[in-house]
Amino acid sequence: MNRFLKVSEEVSEAIHAHKPVVALESTIISHGMPYPKNVETALNVERIVRQNGAVPATVCIIGGKLTVGASAEEIEYLGKTGLKVPKASRRDLAVLLSQGLDGATTVTTTMIGAHLAGISVFATGGVGGVHRGAETTMDISADLEELAKTPVCVVCAGCKSILDLKLTLEYLETKGVPVIGYQTGELPAFYTDKSGLKVDYRLDSPDEVAGAFRAQRELGFDGGMLVTNPIPHQYAMDPDEINATIDQAVEECRQKGISGKAITPYLLDRIQRLTGGRSLESNIQLVYNNAALGAKIACALCKGA
């Protein structure tokens, strides 16, 4: 086993017994929500995965180890330490691991950890993508490149609506990453269930998603699959309101000169404040929804293995 990889006993036993396992990211804990709501949410997500028949595997970096299956104490540590924990993407792994440091895994590094451990399904909130104005800034999330090279089925509520969604879809098409709409033909937009943009395919059951992902793996393709699962309608925000709020937050971000990995945490926090906390509640509910679907897809994959 890779000397930098640490898999919990429960997760390791489940993988070797061919039981369903769902990977979960840790950036949402340290950078996505305030304490203690972040820890409460993370533990609830794990509980939802279990309720739907799978084993949760929260991924993070602790003491120079890419940890797959964080303990409750490690989740509490990440939540309390918050923004002081480095946000770790692919480019950060080598230094953080070799120096024995801690890190919160993004979509990219959670996919890496999941794949190294042998986990096929990962549930998150939203994935990164092409940022607004990327035609001049070249600000494109590493998540898209990871989806093109790492064979993990990623369940999300679409791309974060702070991004350029149309360009993100174009990028994924170029990289050969299938974008699946779960029970919808339209790309969800994180806080809202509609974007006006079409996905590649609509699939209506966990069995259908599992079948498509299984076929992709049997073809020997390197990349992953993006399953977009709309936020439950009762928790969706009004598109006009949230888009106006996002535009305001993006402009403030530009004026402050915030760039790189600091953009998303700043925007999510600013949007939460501008909406009086309603966007945070939407964020939490869509993560819960994705955790449940991720577990069902993982169960379907094991059933058909």
User: What are the catalytic residues?
Assistant: 25, 160
Class of residue 97 by CB neighbours under 10 A (exposed 0-12, middle 13-18, buried 19+): buried
Residue 294 vs residues 115, 282, 288: alpha-carbon distances, Å: 15, 18, 10
- Calpha distance 250→132 (Å, rounded): 9
Class of residue 70 by CB neighbours under 10 A (exposed 0-12, middle 13-18, buried 19+): buried
- Calpha distance 195→198 (Å, rounded): 8
CB–CB of 51/19 below 8 Å? no
Q: By three-state DSSP, how is residue 165 classified?
A: helix
